[in-house]
Chain A
Amino acid sequence: GAVVSQHPSRVICKSGTSVKIECRSLDFQATTMFWYRQFPKKSLMLMATSNEGSKATYEQGVEKDKFLINHASLTLSTLTVTSAHPEDSSFYICSARGVASGYEQYFGPGTRLTVT
């Protein structure tokens, strides 16, 4: 149980375009979802926390107008990178926590974004 999927696993887009990444909890209801960003050989950096049905809480330094997060249902959250630039190229990972999860977050497999 407690499986989280992400789609797409890899995406290449051109500068100036927007790209949407989906995060789904497959077998549990995720009351809270988290979005992380990871650069090569670096740790995970929390970008934002989203609770179902409410606005996401962004970490300091993360532009909310650039990284749009929607958590419209208990099994789906989306991250849209708007007007992407090459410096947005990164590995984006989501995680989800359900009512019965306690502290634990279940992580998705990640999405590799490359902006050309």
Chain B
Amino acid sequence: GESVGLHLPTLSVQEGDNSIINCAYSNSASDYFIWYKQESGKGPQFIIDIRSNMDKRQGQRVTVLLNKTVKHLSLQIAATQPGDSAVYFCAENRGSGYSTLTFGKGTMLLVSP
């Protein structure tokens, strides 16, 4: 389940389940979005990106969906593995052109064997 409070929102799943991590963004002019995975004590690692002229993009075991109407982004991980346990951040490129990235609050994914 998912819990929200003083700590990072956490999603706990069983190995083999599909995981869906959600993100709401704020700027309707943002034209590029990225999902990052961050393991404890390490820098963010690129997972997948999507431009604002698309609504879906698939990678290996991951899919990103973009709903510009409600300013919502999701990351779907198929057949989640214990190695997927990490904090996942969405980031938006605010405005057109190469700008700065604004990171979302993050979701901790815990995968039980």
Residues of A within 8 A of B44 (CB): 44, 93, 107
A49 adjacent to B100 (CB under 8 Å): yes
Binds B, one of A12-20, A60-68, A76-84, A98-106: A98-106
Q: Does B34 sit at the interface, judged by CB under 8 A? A: yes
Residues of A within 8 A of B98 (CB): 32, 97, 102-103
Binds A, one of B11-19, B56-64, B74-82, B103-111: B103-111
Residue of A nearest to B97 (CB): A103
B105 adjacent to A107 (CB under 8 Å): no
Contact of A104 among B7, B49, B102 (CB under 8 A): B49
Residue of A nearest to B93 (CB): A103
Closest chain A CB from B50 CB (angstroms)? 11
Closest chain A CB from B24 CB (angstroms)? 13
Could you list 26 examples of A-B contacts with CB < 8 Å? A4-B43, A41-B7, A41-B8, A42-B106, A43-B89, A43-B103, A43-B104, A43-B106, A46-B100, A46-B102, A49-B100, A93-B43, A93-B44, A95-B43, A97-B98, A102-B98, A103-B32, A103-B49, A103-B98, A104-B46, A106-B46, A107-B36, A107-B43, A107-B44, A110-B42, A110-B43
Interface string of A37-54 (1 = CB under 8 A from B): 000011111100100000
Residues of A within 8 A of B45 (CB): 107
B106 adjacent to A112 (CB under 8 Å): no
In the bound complex, how far is the Cα of B50 from the Cα of A26, in angstroms? 26
Q: Does B1 sit at the interface, judged by CB under 8 A? A: no
Contacts A43-B89, A44-B89 supplied; 19 other A-B pairs, CB < 8 Å: A4-B43, A6-B43, A34-B101, A41-B7, A42-B105, A42-B106, A44-B44, A46-B100, A91-B41, A93-B44, A95-B43, A102-B98, A103-B93, A103-B98, A105-B101, A107-B44, A110-B42, A110-B43, A112-B41
